[in-house]
Amino acid sequence: MKQLLSGNAALARGAWEAGAVVAAGYPGTPSTEILEHFARYPGVYAEWSPNEKVALDVAIGAAYAGKRAIATMKHVGLNVAADAFMYVAMTGIEGGLVIISADDPAMHSSQNEQDNRMYAKFARIPCLEPASSQAAKDQMLDAFAISEQFDTPVLLRVTTRICHSTSEVILGDPPPRTGLGDEAPQTPRFPRNPGKYVMVPGNAVKRHPIIEERLRRLAAFAETYPGNVIVPGSSGLGIITAGISYQYAREVFPDAAILHLGMSWPLPADLIRNFAESVNRLIVMEELDPFIEEGVRLLGVTVASDHPEAPRKWVEGKNIFPIIGEFSPRIIREHAITAGLLPTSAHVATPDLMSSTLPPRPPVLCAGCPHRSSFYLLHKLKVPVNGDIGCYSLGFAPPLSAMHTLGCMGAGISVAHGASKAGSPERHVAVIGDSTFFHSGIPALLNVVYHHSPVVTIILDNRVTAMTGHQGTPATGDTLQPGQTHTDPSTGQPTLIAIEPIVRALGIQHVQTLDAFAVDEIEATLRDFLQLDGPSVLIALQPCALETSGRARWRPLEVVADQCNGCTLCFRLGCPAILKSDELDAHTQRPRASIDPAQCTGCEVCSQICPRNAISFRDDALSLATAESTEVRR
């Protein structure tokens, strides 16, 4: 049966067909949908763990217990999980273990574009790189087979254009009964094998030679691995490629010979040497780092020149194609023309556009976003703000302009602490989301308490992991599969992990949980906290604006035209529902504000900050509307 599947859906399907029964991950673009799809298959367990390291340890536990397991994460998530990644490369596994790293060349939604194939080389484990949805599914099955044959975790590395591209997939059979539940075979007794699984130095030194030998055997396996394929060509040009670049190679160079590496680590030395002998120009086409190119160079592979007396030529790659960003057929074509691989007639013209400066449309905090009030106030208070990763990262952008550092998940609190310890002359505010607090904020906050710095931490608690598409957090009772949380028998309610008690348990004395829309209260509390000698935490609580149920009866606000004098203060909120109207204030000649009723959720942040009471509150709008409808009835 054929079906159109995204790369992420195909990876999930492949894991299920392979009989994987445990999956864990942390949401992150472009990886998120892998786990969401996998969780819907019967007989499997899948969870959103609080962070990627926890997720990988969970998957490792399942693999040690003899079951097939996957861990999913975006590329930077593997940095968080790197400690686990490195030890499991040493121990090996019982059941197959596949770690999926979804890389983001061009940084469509990431802080860097690191090339995680490097991690496979670093840990001495194999790396598979699918080039389509079909390959994503098929190579997931390959990855499990390799994992168990060689007693190794396997890195399955995809990129945004694989994850979020859709193409046809021929589905395989459902898995044999290896799942969880009544019909599944019993899980074997957990191994008692400390020499293999207890990585104290005395055991680890004995494992290292095994790992090196494993890599040699894997390199021999790569020579005949069916995922490494030669597409014959006629032009004398030979291209070595992997992942999505393979598709661009086929499209732009229909006559070239192509060595398509479905497994980009370890490299098949003989296959590459033989391929090189069959062509008279050899190039590697790969996004980001010259990973394969350097490997080919280290093998000492060269190509015979056209003239027998001329020296042999090295492989080419990053001298032709960019090291930065992602490829496209156009980028490949244009660089190939420059390098003389294609004639200039291959150039594809773009239209001569009338020059016009178009208004940009960057992502913004949504109308009614509960984060807006905090950033408005932080901007007003002119404090340095150390931020974190989530929707609230958008607080850096004008007009809110209230975030001055942002590096990775969980960094903000510790960066603020370090700056304070360095004698930074201002009080630092760290801003972190609820999901990020669970991810990596807790140890950082513990450190602020124990080593005592006057960092003010704002936890923006919108009750959800919003940016990646509304995954539940441990504070919500909402889990990836239904009913995963323990239910308290005395109350019948799920066991929730509330944030404020954790903050208090860490030893923070000054804690306030406030309504994120209570502008004056938040301002007063922040002003108090900024005077304290010790650490403090403000939890700004309101569900995400896209979770509309809590606001079902709220109504759009209105600008009272006679009272608005166009002072522009409300524009500083950067709310997409607040528009500049065509109407000028007679006195100031400045445009008055207006509110787009289609976007406004009625959060009342603007009503509270307007100095002239020119924006209605919900109750006012209600009475106004009631009055109008009464009028109509008359």
Partner 1 sequence: MKPLNFLLVGVGGQGTILASDILAHVGAAAGLQVKQAELHGMSQRGGSVSSHVRWGERVFSPIVGAGEVDVLVAFEELEALRYLEMLHRDALIIVNQERIIPTSVTTGAYTYPTEPTMLAMFSSVTTHIIRVDGPGIAGRLGLAKAANSVVLGALARALAVHKLVEPPVSDEIWLTTMAERTPAKFRDLNRAAFCGGQDAMTLVGMA
> Smallest distance, Å, CB 286 to partner 1?
15
SS3 527: helix
Q: Quick one: 44 or 573, whose CB is closer to partner 1? A: 573
Contact yes or no for 372/574 (Cβ under 8 A)? yes
* Four-residue CA torsion sign, 224, 229, 234, 236: negative
Tokens 């494993």, residue located: 214
Give min distance, CB of 152 to partner 1, in A: 31
Residue with smaller CB distance to partner 1, 104 or 478: 104
Q: Which is nearer to partner 1, 85 or 248 (CB)?
A: 248
DSSP string, 239-277: EEE-TTHHHHHHHH-TTSEEEEESEEES--HHHHHHHHH
Q: How far is the CB of 284 from partner 1 (least distance, A)?
A: 18
Contacts (Cβ under 8 Å, ≥6 apart) of 37? 8, 9, 11, 12, 13
- Of residues 368, 369, 366, 370, the one with CA closest to residue 515: 370
In whole angstroms, the minimum distance from the beta carbon of 572 to partner 1 comes to 9
The nearer residue to partner 1, 191 or 254, going by C-beta atoms, is 254
Our CA angle for 555, 561, 563, nearest 5°, is 105
Structure tokens at 135: 């390959």
User: Minimum CB separation from partner 1 for residue 629, in Å?
Assistant: 21
Closest separation in Å from C-beta 521 to partner 1: 27
Q: How far is the CB of 264 from partner 1 (least distance, A)?
A: 19
For residues 101 and 247, which CB has a smaller minimum distance to partner 1 in the complex?
A: 247
Give the Cα-Cα-Cα angle 46, 8, 70 (nearest 5 degrees).
40
Nearest distance in Å: CB 340, partner 1: 20
Closer residue to partner 1, CB minimum distance, 67 or 463: 463
* Shorter beta-carbon distance to partner 1: residue 365 or 413: 365
Fill in the DSSP letter of residue 236. Answer: S
- Is the Cβ of residue 29 or residue 476 nearer to partner 1 in the bound state? 29
Torsion 515-519-522-525 (CA) sign? negative
Q: Which is nearer to partner 1, 362 or 425 (CB)?
A: 362
**Residue 592 in 3-state DSSP?**
strand
CB contact set of 371 (below 8 Å; sequence gap of 6+): 365, 391, 392, 394, 395, 460, 462, 516, 540
Least distance to partner 1, CB of residue 44, Å? 24
CB nearer partner 1, residue 330 or residue 527: 330
Site of tokens 């004056």: 520
Q: How far apart are CA 320 and CA 336, in angstroms?
A: 7
| Residues contributing to the site for partner 1 (CB under 8 A) | 4, 29-30, 108-109, 160-161, 164-168, 244, 247-248, 250-251, 328-331, 333, 348-354, 356-366, 391, 394, 398-399, 467, 469, 571, 574, 576, 578-580, 591, 596
> Residue type at 634?
R
Q: Please report how close the Cβ of residue 509 comes to partner 1 at its closest, in angstroms.
A: 36
Gap between the Cα atoms of 152 and 95, Å rounded: 10
